[in-house]
Amino acid sequence: MKRTTLFAVSLAFTVAANLRAQHKVDSLTEAEIAQVRDAALDPDIRLQLYVQFAKARLTTLDRSRTDPKVADHALAIHDGLQSFLDIYDELDDNIDTFAQRQNDIRKPLKAIIATDAEFTAKLRALDADAQTHPEQLAQYDFLLKSSIETLEESAKDHRELMVEQEELAKHRKKETKKVNSDSHE
């Protein structure tokens, strides 16, 4: 009985994780997936790609708010927010992976920190505008607030990681100088 319950719980977690991963992949187009795959080992390019994809989702989201061809603006905003958040989460996952590998990601991280502020400002503007359409806001308010909170937390984490990256770079520089001075002796 315990074994069956444990198996069922394990299976449920596995299915949930796979569905979440599939949803993230669904947020990327085939061309974007190919670009990410091609940049698998280059943190600079890979992180820049995710930033570009996130920017594109926010641009599409912004257009869908006023596009007369869109039948359900609230649904389009909700789906756009979810797509943006999925890609942003994937960006964060990649940052964590490269940081754990101790890759030097200072250059893309600097751009990401600037972009964090841009993304937060756009979502805050969406939130301010949404207050004028309370009938639509109910469909995406929780997701919007969660997105803003995620961005603020991630921006803080990114700034802290930048400090760690700077310290790591100083340490590497000292080690290189030491190795070079030892080899000249």
Reply yes or no on whether the pLDDT at 21 is more than 90.
no
How far is Cα of residue 146 from the mean position of the Cα atoms in its chain? 13
Give the model's pLDDT for residue 33: 95
Residue that has been written with the tokens 């000249």 in this structure? 184
C-alpha closest to that of 154 among 61, 84, 57, 101: 84
Scored b (16 or more CB within 10 A) or e, 111-148 reads ebeebbeebbebbeebeeebeeeeebbebbbebbeebb
Percent of the chain exceeding pLDDT 90 equals 62
Residues 39 and 45 sit within 8 Å (Cβ to Cβ): yes
Reply yes or no on whether the pLDDT at 23 is more than 70.
no
State how far the Cα of 181 lies from the Cα of 46, in Å rounded to an integer: 35
Give the model's pLDDT for residue 2: 53
State how far the Cα of 82 lies from the Cα of 147, in Å rounded to an integer: 9
Instruction: Give the tens place of pLDDT for each residue, 119-157.
Output: 999 999 999 888 777 888 889 999 999 999 999 999 999
Domain span at residue 148 reads 2-183
Give the model's pLDDT for residue 184: 59
The structure tokens listed for 8 are: 């069922």
Q: What is the mean pLDDT of the chain?
A: 85
Residue that has been written with the tokens 């594109």 in this structure? 56
When divided into structural domains, the chain yields a total of 1
